[in-house]
Amino acid sequence: MTRRMKKSAVEPTEENKMLIDERRQHILSLVQSQGRVLVGELSQTLGMSQITIRKDLEHLQAKGLVQRTHGGALRLTSGALFDPSLQEKQKQHSHEKQRIASAAADMVEEGQCIMLDSGTTTTAIAVALKRFSQLTVITNALNIAIELTKTDFEVILIGGTLRKNSFSLVGPLAEDMLGEIHADILFLGLDGFDMEIGATTPNFLESRVNRAMVKASRRVVAVCDSTKFNRRSLSRIVPVSAVHCVISDRDIPQETAEALRSQNIELLLV
């Protein structure tokens, strides 16, 4: 009987270990496919306590598979130089980007001059702007200019050297042209937003063009989902003080939201 008791005590442990491994592999797959996971959502969908989910995420981080954040975890990147293609970015946080784009379009008035830098969030904004009849849109993104060809907008495509990874035009020609024009609102997509460093992007040439866009615009609106906060890419675009408004989703860390508001930056959470 003693042997049976010991055997029955071992079997559930082995079974639990298998279930734990399967659960953690499932969580890792979600992180890799979606870019991030949230503790609360995993707790509900998997029927596990939030304490258990946090332990799973900490285990995955200890193995170097994910990056823990406030309230969840992010897909592990290769650091400040990580520069995913436009096609890869389109698969990430699409619902958040659509809500951000809708809120951005609500800030626009008929007849204004709008500037859009390259990126998937700004591309979503370009689509949302189609509800207007008369706008001037300045962009350095080939795909955005093509997206707007069937509108009655005046579309100004900045010249420069093509970055195939982002379909954007960069370099001295783009910077010089931006020095000659002016926009009412710039919607600026970001790869990282750090409260100490500011807005960042992994490409140095892109950061210079973005900086010139900021100088050419009366109002600067940073548009980014919550995973971009407390992250730093290689090249700084501008400090936090150069941004007038931020549009993001509601998963932004509370301390970051408070820090933005304390610097008199308008924050819209959608």
Which of 46, 34, 45 shows the shortest CA–CA distance to 73? 34
Mean pLDDT of 44-58: 92
Which residue among 33, 53, 75 closes a domain? 75
Q: Which residues pair with 136 in a beta bridge?
A: 113, 154
> 172 and 43, same structural domain?
no
> What CA–CA distance (Å, rounded) separates 138 from 259?
31
**CATH code of 70's domain:** 1.10.10.10
pLDDT for res 163: 87
Residue 175's contacts (CB-CB under 8 Å, 6 or more residues apart) are 208, 209, 212
Residue 28: pLDDT over 80: yes
> 92 and 69, same structural domain?
no
Asked if residues 121 and 190 have their Cβ atoms less than 8 Å apart, the reply is no
Residue 9: pLDDT over 50: no
Q: What is the pLDDT of residues 224-242, one digit of tens each?
A: 999 889 888 878 999 999 9
Question: Could you tell me if residue 80 is inside a domain?
Answer: no
Domain residue limits at 126: 86-269
> What CA–CA distance (Å, rounded) separates 227 from 248?
9
